[in-house]
Structure 1
């Protein structure tokens, strides 16, 4: 099922922060990991990801460093900072409240899972 892109836009930051909570990653690794974990619901383009990463870095939510691999390819890795961990926690709480409310409305005003 195809998902409206406007629904995806608001959650992209949260998803990227969540990936970086698991481990440091370079950009295309994030794109690939997110696509695989979401069964390709989230197929980000580099033109979407990199501006977001640069904004998060300017705000101190992520930091970056370069590392050279065994094949002499230098990659820029991103790391979730302590401030980024706080933002992720906040975004996760927001998402839980938002999705619970949407599910409640879709369920006719009853809490999700209520018979």
Structure 2
């Protein structure tokens, strides 16, 4: 399990989808639609997460003729991956959260 994995904003988008329901397997095209990421971005991230042990994947067990499509590769967060993903997303949110005492002023106006 690679707990030192550096989470990028695009990776965070993907992890957020998995964390919405940790028991729901996801497939590539679905993730592309939910994150607006192209396959050339998405699949390398999925491979990185799987190699790090954050995701497991398997081919869907369906009859292609009956389903009218090829089996999908399904991805699911591992239990450790879910814990690490949650912690990393919380750390990212904290890193980008403005200070509580920051005063917001409209630009170009008078304050």
Please state whether the residue corresponding to 1:60 is helix, strand or coil.
coil
TM-score (norm 2): 0.70
State the distance in 2 between where 1:26 and 1:80 align: 12
2:17 aligns with 19
Asked which structure has the greater CA Rg, the reply is 2
Q: Which runs of 5+ in 2 are unaligned?
A: 1-6, 105-111
Count of aligned positions: 91
Structure 1 residue corresponding to 2:95, chosen from 88, 94, 98: 98
2:71 aligns with 74
Within 5 A, what are the aligned runs for 1:1-115? Answer: 10-21=8-19, 22=21, 23-34=24-35, 43-67=36-60, 68=62, 70-100=67-97, 103-104=98-99, 110-111=101-102
Shift of 1:78: 0.3
Structure 1 runs of 4+ aligned residues shifted over 6 Å read none
Q: Which runs of 5+ in 1 are unaligned?
A: 1-8, 35-42
Shift of 1:111: 4.2
Which structure shows the higher helix fraction? 1
